[in-house]
Structures are given as C-alpha cells and as structure tokens.
Amino acid sequence: AQSVAQPEDQVNVAEGNPLTVKCTYSVSGNPYLFWYVQYPNRGLQFLLKYITGDNLVKGSYGFEAEFNKSQTSFHLKKPSALVSDSALYFCAVRDGVGNSGGYQKVTFGTGTKLQVIP
Amino acid sequence: KAGVTQTPRYLIKTRGQQVTLSCSPISGHRSVSWYQQTPGQGLQFLFEYFSETQRNKGNFPGRFSGRQFSNSRSEMNVSTLELGDSALYLCASSQWDRGKGYGYTFGSGTRLTVV
C-alpha cells in the first residue's frame, strides 16, 4: 500500500540555521513527490515536486528537497531558516503510473510543524 | 488565473443538520479532491472525482458524499452532522494526465463548526 511518513511532529530551528524536514515514502513504481506548506487558517500551497531528473529539486521561498531512491526519502531543506518559514509542512506522494483507469492516487503525510525561533 | 474557490469560507451548523460545501477548480483542471483537516487527525482524504465519477474514496461514513458536475465544479454533502465533523474542509484540483506528475492546487477551505 502507498504510504508517506513524516517522523517528526514538530521541528524547532533557530533563525539563520539550516533546516530539514524529513519524509519517507512507499509506493509501487516510480514516485512523484511533493511538498506543500500550510499557514494558519489557509489551504495548502505547493512548494516543490520531484518527477524525474536531478535528485536535488529547488522550489519556492528558497526551499529545496533531495530525492534519495535507495532510502525512499524526500527531505525538505533550506540553508537558512526565516521566522516567516514557521508553518505546517506536508509531504505527498503520487504513484507514477496509476491503475488501469489511469487513476493516480495521492497520499499525504501527517504534517510537520516547523517553528523557527528568532 | 483564478485559483480554487471554496464557498462558503465559514459555516456554523447545528448537530443533526446537513450541509453542502462547494468547490470550483482552476479552469482546465478536471480532477477535484476533498480533504478533512482536524488538529488531532491531520489531513484525511475524503474522495476524488474526475469526469463526474468518483475515482477513490477515503474511510469516512456514508454521511459524507460528493459529486462533480460537467463543468468540473464539485460539491460535498454531510448529512446528520455530528460535533466531530467540525473541521477545515479542503478542496484541491489537479490536471489529469498520466505521467506528468501534476500536483494539487488547494482552496482556502471551508471552516465548518457544528454546535
């Protein structure tokens, strides 16, 4: 069964320090991987995605993510955290092929709350 | 380009009532998904529609239903509301093209409070 794990409910980091939010996945075939961010009382916003190609993907607001096929991981990173990065982050996986009907199931992780401390 | 529009933004209902939430996807997006978000349960998948057909359904009771119209707009309905249905309901739309890896665009959600 397809699954996504975000092992940390919350990550605290000092402003200016690098941050990492972890994500591991399980899916049949090649995965499409996504990161979304949610600010309070808002819907989720797309940050970045991995489809194919370079394992390091760059996205919005200075975020990047590294795809590691052998470890089935897709960790979100940023070299220098800002207080405004404090939000809820969701990892998601979409199976790359879909079923016979072409349906590509999407599974979200449980979310990681990032707190950047001034 | 207009985003995903969810109406209403806020809703207060009484236990036992029913409610209908609406979602208008981005123009050209034919797939619409619904999620329930609560502080304790995180993001829970409700259902996904494409071409007016439900393609997948999450683990919710039959009180939760949905539909999609020919213009891709979608509605979800919750009957016999319970206090535990209080949540942020998110709609997401996506293009449908195998192998392209399209992501979701989310609406701002409908905050439902059941009293």
pLDDT of A101 over the 70 cut = no
Contacts of A32 in chain B (CB under 8 A): 101
CB crowding A86-98: b at 16 or more within 10 Å, else e: bbbbbbbbbbbeb
Which helix (H) or strand (E) covers residue A108, if one does?
strand A106-108
Q: Tell me, what amino acid is at B79?
A: S
Q: Is B111 on the interface with A (CB under 8 A)?
A: yes
- Most B-contacting residue of A39, A44, A47, A95 (CB-CB within 10 A), to test interface: A44
Here the tokens at position A20 are 């990492």
Rounded CA separation B72/B69 (Å): 5
Rounded CA separation A40/A44 (Å): 10
pLDDT of A104 over the 70 cut = no
**Percent of chain B beyond pLDDT 70?**
94
The answer to whether B87 touches B10, Cβ cutoff 8 Å, is: no
Contacts of B48 in chain A (CB under 8 A): 103, 106
Say if residue B8 is preceded by a cis peptide, omega within 30 of 0. Answer: yes
Chain B 15-74, CB below 8 Å of chain A: which residues? 33, 35, 42-43, 45, 48, 50, 55-56
pLDDT category, A30, cuts 50, 70, 90?
A: confident
